[in-house]
Amino acid sequence: MCFDTTSSNTGRLAGACILLEQKIGTELFSLACRHNVMELLIGAVFQQYWMFVDQSRFETGMSSDAVSTSVQDIKDSNHEFTKGYLRESQRRDDHREFLELVIIFLGLVPERGF
């Protein structure tokens, strides 16, 4: 998880990170970053090593039984929610990208493709 350090994300009892780990039943690697610097570093590394990634072995979040079971009851509503917002004009590309990544995570294909 890469996230900013607001209490809504990092709260030890009800922060989004804790709730996400509880929901899927496993600990996740955390990259907390006060000014989103880690996103820039991860992006740079990702671009540099993308050619070495075996893209034929791509799996969505739904490939995991634990994740699939955890989100099955909200999959359809999340897909409808993201599609609805994608129909609207997004002022920022990162917002559009996030909505499309949610769709991909759910094992579906965004209208613009991959």
In a domain, 114, yes or no: no
Range of the domain at 13: 1-55
CA–CA separation, 91 vs 84, rounded Å? 15
In a domain, 27, yes or no: yes
- Going by the DSSP 8-state scheme, the letter that residue 12 receives in this structure is T
C-alpha radius of gyration, the chain, whole number: 15
- Pick from 84, 82, 89: nearest CA to 105: 82
pLDDT tens digits, one per residue of 84-102 = 989 887 777 888 888 998 9
User: Number of folded domains in the chain?
Assistant: 2
Chain-centroid distance of CA 80 in Å reads: 17
Query: In terms of domains, do 47 and 86 share one?
Result: no
- Going by the DSSP 8-state scheme, the letter that residue 63 receives in this structure is G
pTM of the model: 0.58
pLDDT tens digits, one per residue of 14-65 = 889 899 899 888 888 887 877 667 777 778 888 888 889 888 887 888 888 9
